[in-house]
Amino acid sequence: MKVIMVGTVASSFYGFRADLICTLLKKGHQVYAFTSEYTAEDLKKIEQLGAIPITYTLNRGGLNPLADIIATYQLSKKIKAINPDLVFSYFSKPVIFGTLAAKLAQVPRVIGMLEGLGYTFTEQPEGLSKKTQLIKKIQVFLYKIALPQLNQLIFLNPDDPKDLLQKYGIKVKKVEVLGGIGLNLENYKYSKNFNSDISFIFVARLLAEKGIHDYIKAAKIVKSKYPNIKFTVLGAIDKSALGSLKEEELQDLIQTNIIEYPGYVNNVADWIKKANVFVLPSYYREGVPRSTQEAMAIGRPVITTDVPGCRETVVDGVNGFLVPKWNPEALAEKMIYFIENPEQVSLMGAASYEIAKEKFDANVVNKRLIKFLEVVE
C-alpha cells in the first residue's frame, strides 16, 4: 500500500511519527512524508527513517483564499503523481487542504486526524478577540467543506468531536477517538520518586493559555507558606504570542527566587525525573498534552486543569488532581497537599506510570492507529 502522510513541520515526522512510520514500513507499505516547513537536514532525517520526503507549499498562518486554492491544486497534482492508496493528514490546515487535494486527486481513502482544536477554539478569560472570532468562523466554514469528504476522522479526546462536529452540525462518515498520540516508553524510563524535598515542574511554552501565569501565582502562594519549595519552569518565551511571559518578568522571577529556569534544554526527561510533581494548568484546546504523558511515564503525579485533553491524563485523586482553569488558588491548594502528604507523591506517581503504560504506550497506540489506517472499506 502507498501511504501519503501530510503534515506541516518536518520535525513532527521524525519527532512524533517515527514509530508509526517504522511500523508501516515494516508491514511493507511505502510511506511518503509531505512537509511544508523543513530544512535540508530535516529531509535527511525523514529519509533515514525510510520514508520519502516530499515538499509542498502551504500558507500556514495567514488566510489568503487565492493562495490556498492555488496551493491545494498544486498539492493535488503532487498527490496524483504518486497515486497513493491512502492519504493521512494531521494538524488543522493539512486536514482541510490535504483532504481537498486528495479528493481532487481521486485518492480511494482519505483519513484526517485533529490533535486538539487549537488556539481559535480556546476560551480566553477575557473572551475571544474580534480577529480570533473571524478566524474561527472561517475555520469552521472550511471544516464544513473538507471534513465530510473524509472516510474517517480521528480525534485524540472525546470532547473535541462534541465541540466541533456536534456543535456546528458537521457530518463525518466515521469518527474514532484514539486517546494519546503515543510515547516510546523506552525514552521515558520510570524512575522512583524518592526526593524528600517536594518540588514542582512546568514544561510548556511560556504562554498564558498553557497556564504559566497561574503556575507562577500558585508558586507565590505556596512560597508564602513554604519558602523553600522549588518550582522549575522549562520552555521558551514566544515573543509573537499575546499573553506570553515577558523576558523582564522571567528575569524578575529568577532573581526573586520564585522559579528555577534553566533555559532551553534537550533532556526534558532528566528534569522531570529531578522533580516530584508535574504541573500543567493549561486551558489551551490540547489533544492530549504530550508533556503530561511523558511525566506520567516517568512516574510523576500530575496536577492539571479539568479541560478537554488535559482531563484525559488524570484520574482525580488517583494519579494526581484536576483543578478548575484560571484558578491559581485551587492549584496552590493541591500543591500544598503534596507538601503536607509527601507519601502520596510516590503512590500517585506509580499510578501515573500504570495509566501511561495502559493508555499512552506508542506500541499500543500505533496498533490502534494502524488498524484505523489499514481497514480497507
In this predicted model, what pLDDT tens digit does every residue of 54-78 receive, in sequence order?
999 987 666 688 899 999 999 999 9
pLDDT digits (tens, 9 = 90+) for 251-266: 999 999 999 999 889 8
pLDDT digits over 113-127, tens only?
Answer: 999 999 999 999 999
How many Å separate Cα 63 from the centre of its chain? 23
Measure the CA angle with vertex 119, ends 278 and 99; round to 5°: 115
- What's the pLDDT at 61? 63
- Non-local CB neighbours of 192 within 8 Å, separated by 6+ positions: 299, 346
Phi then psi for residue 73, to 5 deg, are: -65, -45
Nearest-angstrom CA–CA distance, 134 and 175? 27
Asked if pLDDT for residue 185 goes beyond 90, the answer is yes
| pLDDT band of 376, cuts 50, 70, 90 | low
CA-CA distance, 30 to 213, in Å (whole number)? 45
**Letter for the amino acid at 358?**
E
Beta bridge partner(s), residue 244 = 207
pLDDT digits (tens, 9 = 90+) for 125-168: 999 999 999 999 999 999 999 999 999 999 999 999 999 999 99
Give the predicted TM-score (pTM) of the model: 0.94
Residues spanned by the domain of 261: 185-359
Give me the pLDDT at residue 233, please: 98
Q: Does one domain contain both 221 and 149?
A: no
The pLDDT > 90 percentage for the chain reads 90
Q: What is the pLDDT of residues 313-330, one digit of tens each?
A: 999 999 999 999 999 999
80 and 211 part of one domain: no
Q: Do residues 299 and 228 both lie within one domain?
A: yes
Residues 153 and 247 in one domain: no
1 and 29 in contact (C-beta within 8 Å)?
yes
Give mean pLDDT, residues 283-295.
96
pLDDT at 377 over 60: no
Identify the top-confidence range among 13-27, 40-54, 64-78. 40-54
- 261 and 144 share one domain: no
C-alpha cell at 232: 522549575
**Band of residue 195 on the pLDDT scale cut at 50, 70, 90:** low
Let me know whether 280 and 152 are in one domain: no
Residue 281 has pLDDT above 70, yes or no: yes
pLDDT at 101 over 80: yes
Cell numbers standing for residue 60: 500556514
Instruction: Please measure the distance between the N-terminal and C-terminal CA atoms of the chain and give it in whole angstroms.
Output: 14
**Total number of domains constituting the chain:** 2
Residues 24 and 170 in one domain: yes
Q: Residue 190 has what pLDDT?
A: 95
Lowest-confidence region among 74-88, 182-196, 326-340, 346-360? 182-196
Same domain? For 23 and 137 the reply is yes
- Domain holding 211: CATH number? 3.40.50.2000
Pairing type for strands 152-155 and 277-280 reads unpaired
